[in-house]
Amino acid sequence: MNDMLSRNFAEVHSGLTPTEAMDESNRCLFCYDAPCIKACPTGIDIPSFIRKIATGNLKGSARVIMEANPVGATCSRVCPTEQLCEGACVLNDASKPILIGMLQRYATDAAIRSGERLFAPGPGNGLKVAVIGSGPAGLSAARELARFGYAVTIYEAKEKPGGLDTYGIVSFRLPQDVSLWEADQLRTMGVEIRTGVRVGVDLPPEKLLAEHDAVVLAVGMGRVPALGIQGEQLKGVYDAIELIESTKTGIYAGDLDGARVVVIGAGNTAIDAATCAVRLGAENVKIAYRRTRSEMTAYDFEYRFAKEEGVEFRWLTAPKRIIGDESGKVTHLECVRMKLFPEAGKDGRAVPVPIEGSEFRMEVDAVIKAIGQTRLTGLIESYGLEHERGVVSIDPATYRTSHPKIYAAGDVVFGQGCGEATVVSAAQQGKLAAYAIHRELNQQSAETA
Amino acid sequence: MADLSVDFAGIRSPNPFWLASAPPTNTGYQVQRAFEAGWGGAVWKTLGNPVINTTARFAGLHLGAQRVAGFNNIELISDRPVEANLREIYETKKRFPNHALIVSLMVDPKREAWHEIVKRAEAAGADGLELNFGCPHGMAERGMGSASGQVPALVEAQTGWVKEAARTPVIVKLTPNITDITSTAVAAVQGGADAISLINTINSLMGVDLDSWNTIPHVAGKGAHGGYCGPAVKPIALNMVAECARHPEVNVPISGIGGVSTWKDAAEFMLMGAAGVQVCTAAMHHGFRIVEDMIDGLNNYLDEKRIARVSELVGRSVGKYTNWGDLDLSYRIVARIDNETCINCNKCHIACEDTSHQCIERHADEEGQPFLTVREEDCVGCNLCSIVCPVDGVISMVELPSEAESMTWNERQTALALLAKDREEPSAKEVAQP
């Protein structure tokens, strides 16, 4: 099984060759006040890192990237670059945009291979910060705080650090060693990453709060919620997040070989689950989505990738119930056709409504749920933080929650139509939370001094 | 179809493209392959007392993704026996009677030595001779090559000795490693040269390896200066050709050498006075087949300009090359930016702001779209913005109506001197009056 996983889940795109990197980096115009920098949520000085590739200064290039974005190696692989940096490249108007993501990967891959520490921690300032969660937001906040001289401890529930990057994005787009290297960079700076510690289970939340000068809540989100339809407990019904995680950790024990699969949902995780199923040997994979292509949240490049992988799309199709045989195994998925109401709903998207009498059945062997993620409301409430249906309320300028010592960043503050659920925006939020903590604690120490 | 044939100092060639005396013309096999590919002529790699060449001989200058923007070598003259070369020259000439085959020569600065080598080369069938007074490395340490070519008296004397024996046209190849190339060009003419060719390679050290700290190239850990050539030297060569072409005493044909890589380069050299060109680095980079586009491109250019013969191009721009003091100080151009095609890379802005005259302003329209404007009253028309602009045609340099009469620096100084004299004369009278 592990052989199959390492073979079928090897990274799809190989990186640039040295010659390609030299050609491409020399094509960059080195714009002044470049629009690509403004289009990057973390503000990487893109012309600078590309010029350093062209001059053969790969370490300097990786430093420029990682300085602005502590998860810059991951982002080089998962960012929607067409909509961000590459979309803003001035060469869109002259020839074709620079392959910024691929160059970013080239420089960070070299840093991963060298294994060198890129940043030194600041001189210790005697203050302690706890970061809960080691996904992009948590790593990013911790890295910046370590550079300011804080003693930072990250508490991670899973066995390995990296959060979604390590467990939730398919290996053929993002191998684990990339996000693990980003976490290792923090360890070399003296950041302690305590894995396998569930705050609220293994460690009382109030203890953490009492022992630190500030806490960054960067716990992300949970599992895929229930569809709320009949048959969800049947054998052959998968949670997309769990499925992807099982392929990344090598514990996959499902039975998708030769299966007819329907994925419910059309976000990036749905695409990941669908392409994952293809690689696990599924005979046919369909994505069923209750809206249309224009409303789906998956990136264009993800959609194109899924099509290339042979995934079929069924628009305006919602699941109604999952039907199983006497052994409890999935045999059919009953769906209903939808139509869209032109008026936009609360989140700005058209509202789908079922067409009466349009029910139909598909013969399936597996159903993968990918309709979003649950909120970790329990932990949020254990700190008594204000939230709206699991989305922690923050001051948008400082990422400070209703508790003065607790800041929050990443998916835990994403939702209700505000912000972006991207790795890159989580990284930026982590940075901003760290800066706010530093401002606040600096001010406090100045006042007490 | 234009007539591309040339008569260079009496040497006839089907086109103006010759291979220069260099590694590509080392053997009969190579020169015959070149003629088959379409080259009009070739200057055989220099004959003389055979030498021993080093291994590691060449190095390239790569600029970004562009390989071989420049090239240098420490290879000496032919390291093959003179007899073998002469035999292959004979065979080649017999097979290609209508191509120009020139033999490059270099011997000790002695009359008898020159007489002997000249006779042998001509007996083998050479259409002409080229005297190598340019090779800057190795041979110069032995008193030959550029060591001779840097001393006008030696150039003149040796050219004279060659002319005593030669029956074919004698071309003197000049070294650029000299302050004023026209001094040796004039010496060659005074020695009786039928033509000159320039430039030979420029003294160079290509680089230092940052890991071993060896020179590039190195021979067993040591390096010596080489000769630099290739596209990067073209502007230097073009200037030297032009300086010779406009010198009243250099009244012999010029063979243009130095970074000629395309038909455009060739046309430029010819406009600046070269009657033909010689090529080496471009052939070493890409092979002999590049001559096909050189011929085709030059022909199409001539057809487009309705010029019947390539010889009509020769020297047409020489009159436009003058001294700085004869440039019109009243002429005015300014930069204009076409915001329709501008891609907003801001390279012109930062170049002007940091390193020129701070006259390109950044603005944004009501929708926040950026655009650039030139403050024409502060623009000095330096061209920098249009040079750094990555998109052709976005920035044009536009001529403004002149506010003053045409006036050169020399005219101005003359006028000022006259004015001063006018002022002095009355005061002299005043002094004279008691």
What is the DSSP annotation of B345-387? --HHHHHHHHHS---EEEEE-TT--EEEEE-GGG-----HHHH
pLDDT score recorded for residue A1: 64
Q: Is A54 on the interface with B (CB under 8 A)?
A: yes
Q: In angstroms, rounded to a whole number, what is the distance separating the alpha carbons of residues A265 and A291?
A: 9
Per-residue confidence band for B433, with pLDDT thresholds at 50, 70 and 90? low
Classify residue A122: in a domain, yes or no. Answer: no
Q: With contacts defined as CB-CB under 8 Å, which chain B residues touch A30?
A: 347
Mutate to test the interface with A, among B344, B345, B352 (most CBs of A within 10 A): B345
pLDDT score recorded for residue A276: 95
Classify residue A228: in a domain, yes or no. Answer: no
Please say which residue of A369, A403, A419 terminates a domain: A369
Q: With contacts defined as CB-CB under 8 Å, which chain A residues touch B343?
A: 90-91, 93-94
Looking at the predicted structure, is the pLDDT value of residue B134 above 90? no
- pLDDT tens digits for range B12-33: 999 999 999 999 999 999 999 9
Q: Is B345 on the interface with A (CB under 8 A)?
A: yes
The domain that holds A432 is classified in CATH as: 3.50.50.60
Per-residue confidence band for B86, with pLDDT thresholds at 50, 70 and 90? very high
Q: Is B350 on the interface with A (CB under 8 A)?
A: yes
Contact A29 B349 (CB under 8 A): no
- The encoded tokens of residue B275 equal 């009657």
Classify residue A135: in a domain, yes or no. Answer: yes
pLDDT score recorded for residue B56: 93
- pLDDT tens digits for range B137-163: 777 788 787 888 999 999 999 999 999
Query: Is residue A329 domain-shared with residue A429, that is, in the same domain?
Result: no
- pLDDT tens digits for range B254-287: 999 999 999 999 999 999 999 999 999 999 999 9
Question: Which amino acid belongs to residue A312?
Answer: E
Mark which residues 304-323 of B lie under 8 Å from A by CB.
Answer: none
Contact B345 A93 (CB under 8 A): no
Contact in structure between B328 and B406 (CB atoms under 8 Å): yes
Contact A29 B391 (CB under 8 A): no
Q: Which domain holds residue A72?
A: 2-114
- Which of B64, B66, B345 is the closest to A90 by Cβ? B345
Per-residue confidence band for B427, with pLDDT thresholds at 50, 70 and 90? low
Classify residue A229: in a domain, yes or no. Answer: no
Give the mean pLDDT of B77-92.
97
Beta strands A330-344 and A192-195 are unpaired
* In chain B, where the domains are located: 6-320, 326-399
Q: Whose structure tokens read 């053969």?
A: A56
Query: Is residue A172 domain-shared with residue A248, that is, in the same domain?
Result: no
Alpha carbon distances (Å) from A296 to A87, A315, A341: 20, 10, 16
- The encoded tokens of residue B94 equal 């017999």
Q: How many domains does chain A have?
A: 3
Of residues A130, A140, A243, the one with CA closest to residue A194: A130
pLDDT score recorded for residue B430: 56
Mutate to test the interface with B, among A31, A91, A92 (most CBs of B within 10 A): A31
Of residues A16, A7, A6, A5, the one with CA closest to residue A58: A16
Looking from the CA of A335 toward its CB, the CA atoms found within 13 Å total 21
As annotated, the active-site residues of B are 135
Q: Is A26 on the interface with B (CB under 8 A)?
A: yes
Give the mean pLDDT of B37-50.
96
Nearest chain B residue to A18 by CA distance is B65
Mutate to test the interface with A, among B343, B349, B385, B388 (most CBs of A within 10 A): B343
Share of chain B above pLDDT 90, in %: 91
Q: Is A229 on the interface with B (CB under 8 A)?
A: no
Q: With contacts defined as CB-CB under 8 Å, which chain B residues touch A27?
A: 65
Q: Is B431 on the interface with A (CB under 8 A)?
A: no
- The encoded tokens of residue B291 equal 């001559």
Q: With contacts defined as CB-CB under 8 Å, which chain A residues touch B66?
A: 26
CA angle (A275 as vertex; A270, A281 as ends), nearest 5 = 130
Contact in structure between A119 and A67 (CB atoms under 8 Å): yes
Per-residue confidence band for B432, with pLDDT thresholds at 50, 70 and 90? low
Residue B31: phi and psi, rounded to 5, are -65, -35
Query: Is residue A33 domain-shared with residue A69, that is, in the same domain?
Result: yes
Nearest chain A residue to B65 by CA distance is A23
Please say which residue of A114, A142, A171 terminates a domain: A114
- The encoded tokens of residue A102 equal 């691929």
Across A253-329, the runs of DSSP E, i.e. the strands, are 260-264, 284-288, 312-314, 317-324
- The encoded tokens of residue A117 equal 């520490």
Query: Is residue A327 domain-shared with residue A306, that is, in the same domain?
Result: yes
Per-residue confidence band for B428, with pLDDT thresholds at 50, 70 and 90? low
- Least confidently predicted of A409-418, B164-173, B234-243: A409-418
Across A249-380, the runs of DSSP E, i.e. the strands, are 260-264, 284-288, 312-314, 317-324, 330-344, 350-354, 360-363, 366-369
Instruction: Tell me which H or E stretch contains B193.
Output: none
Q: Whose structure tokens read 């010592």?
A: A405
ipTM: 0.83
Across A147-199, the runs of DSSP E, i.e. the strands, are 151-156, 192-195
Q: What is the pTM of this model?
A: 0.89
Cis-peptide, bond into residue B102, ω within 30° of zero: no
Query: Is residue A42 domain-shared with residue A163, that is, in the same domain?
Result: no
- The encoded tokens of residue A104 equal 């970013």
Q: Is A27 on the interface with B (CB under 8 A)?
A: yes
- Which of A23, A31, A91 is the closest to B347 by Cβ? A31
Query: Is residue A160 domain-shared with residue A193, that is, in the same domain?
Result: yes
Q: In angstroms, rounded to a whole number, what is the distance separating the alpha carbons of residues B9 and B196?
A: 10
Classify residue A398: in a domain, yes or no. Answer: yes
Please say which residue of A369, A398, A414 terminates a domain: A369
Give the mean pLDDT of B297-322.
97
Q: In angstroms, rounded to a whole number, what is the distance separating the alpha carbons of residues A409 and A405?
A: 14
Residues in chain B: 434
Of residues B132, B138, B134, B135, the one with CA closest to residue B54: B138
Query: Is residue A217 domain-shared with residue A269, that is, in the same domain?
Result: no
Looking at the predicted structure, is the pLDDT value of residue B431 above 80? no
Superfamily of domain B6-320: Aldolase class I (3.20.20.70)
Which residues of chain A are under the pLDDT cut of 70? Answer: 1, 416-419, 449
The domain that holds A80 is classified in CATH as: 1.10.1060.10
Q: Is A30 on the interface with B (CB under 8 A)?
A: yes
Of residues B21, B44, B237, the one with CA closest to residue B127: B44
Hey, what CATH topology would domain B326-399 get?
Answer: Alpha-Beta Plaits (3.30.70)
B425 DSSP assignment? H
